[in-house]
Amino acid sequence: MRRLHSLSGLVPVGAYMVVHLSVNASVFGAPLLFQRLVFHIHSLGPILPLVEWAFIFLPIIFHAAYGLLITSGGNPNTQAYPYNSNFRYTMQRATGLVAFLFIAWHVFHMHGWIHANFWINNVAHPLFGAQFSPYNAASSGALAMQASIIVPILYTIGVLATVFHFSNGLFTFGITWGLWINPKAQERAKLAANVVFVLLAVAGMAAIVGLYSMSSEKIAEVRVEEDKAYEILVETGDIMPNPHKHSEESKFSHEEHDEAPQAESER
């Protein structure tokens, strides 16, 4: 079980995190590139939830649940033995707890946990959840990040904790699986893990800064371009029209919501 837990932290959970941070980092210099990547993801259509549950949610739930079990039986001793290995041992468990709380809040903040109108309207939105709209990814993400100064602070803490947990987990993965057992190999692996931490931390900070620093004029401009891209992709059949994936500020969200009651009355 420990080896399976270690493996799940690398594949698929860790691999997904690397892709997720890389895609999000694109918003720093090119918000429309970020939107294009999100459109690619949602072009999967009805099989997207199956992919998400099979390769993201269920592996994360398993990794988190078994990680909490391991943490509950841990015995940190950094005060008695203030060595680097003990420090990393304690930080691995501490950042695991922070990452668990952060991911739960992040999914609620951006997606609301449950994609049901009753839940979104009566629970998620009143609690500032479900703020992300995939078909207006960059503009809605910027508004969500700029809702309060507390939001980017929490994201910074959460991203850094999650990235440390993953990068240090790479080091412990090699020990668990017997890939590096002598001191020299472990030092090289530790250095590689530190490099991974720096690279992913930079990617995570780029996404946060890119969204938080976007001006209101830029957000409006990006939203117009997102809607243009959406219109083209719907015409070509690359994505399916869906009013629930637009932000409230999108012209397509208003048009589609306004047309729905009329169509219903005609039927």
Residue given tokens 């969204």 in the structure block: 211
pLDDT at 79: 52
- 267 lies in some domain: no
Q: Is the per-residue pLDDT at 261 higher than 50?
A: no
Burial class from Cβ neighbours inside 10 Å (0-12, 13-18, 19+) for residue 260 reads exposed
Distance CA 211, CA 221 (A): 14
Residue 135 near residue 246 (C-beta atoms within 8 A): yes
Looking at the structure of the chain, the number of domains it has is 1
| CA–CA distance, 22 with 17 (Å, rounded to integer) | 8
Measure CA 48 to chain center: 16
**Cα 19 versus chain centre, distance:** 9
Evaluate whether residue 47 is within a structural domain: yes
Q: Is residue 125 part of a domain?
A: yes
Mean pLDDT across 61-90: 78
Is residue 159 domain-resident? yes
State whether residue 84 is helix, strand or coil: helix
pLDDT confidence of 255, banded at 50, 70, 90?
low
Q: Which of 157, 168, 166, 141 is nearest to 223 (CA)?
A: 141
Indicate whether 264 belongs to any domain: no
Token pair for residue 63? 């990794």
Q: What is the mean pLDDT of residues 189-211?
A: 97
The Cα 179–Cα 209 span in angstroms is: 37
Q: Provide the pLDDT confidence category of residue 71 given band limits of 50, 70 and 90.
A: confident
Burial of residue 73 (number of CB atoms within 10 Å: 0-12, 13-18, 19+): exposed
265 in any annotated domain? no
Which helix (H) or strand (E) element contains residue 247? none
CATH code at position 187: 1.20.1300.10
Report the chain's terminal Cα–Cα distance, integer Å.
56
pTM: 0.90
Please indicate, yes or no, if residue 210 is contained in any of the structural domains: yes
Question: Is 266 inside a domain boundary?
Answer: no
Q: Which of 2, 6, 53 is closest to 174 using CA atoms? A: 6
Report residue 239: phi and psi, to 5°: -135, 160
User: Helix 13-25 crosses helix 31-42 at what angle (to 10 degrees)?
Assistant: 140
What is the rounded distance in angstroms from the CA atom of residue 30 to the CA atom of residue 207? 11
- Write out the residue range of the structural domain in which residue 107 sits: 2-259
- Cα–Cα dist 119/108, whole Å: 11
pLDDT digits 0-9 by tens, 150-171: 999 999 999 999 999 999 999 9
Q: How far is CA 181 from CA 118, 187, 189, in A?
A: 54, 10, 10
Give the residue-averaged pLDDT of 57-66: 96
